[in-house]
Amino acid sequence: MATTNDIRISAPHTSIWGPIQHQKKLANGVYSVDTASHGGIMVHVSVADRYISQKAKDIIKYPEKGWWHFEEDCDWAIFAHENRDIIPEKWLPYIENALKNYYPEFLESSNK
> Phi, psi at residue 77, to the nearest 5°?
-65, -30
Residue-wise pLDDT for 5-43, tens only, equals 568 899 999 999 999 999 999 999 999 999 999 999 999
Mean pLDDT of the chain: 93
Compute the distance between CA of residue 41 and CA of residue 76 in angstroms, rounded to an integer.
6
Residue pair 40/102 in contact (Cβ under 8 Å)? The answer is: no
Assign 8 to helix, strand or coil.
Answer: coil
Record the pTM: 0.92
Distance of CA 64 to the CA centre of its chain: 13
Ramachandran sector of residue 29 (left: φ over 0; alpha: ψ -120 to 50; beta: rest): left
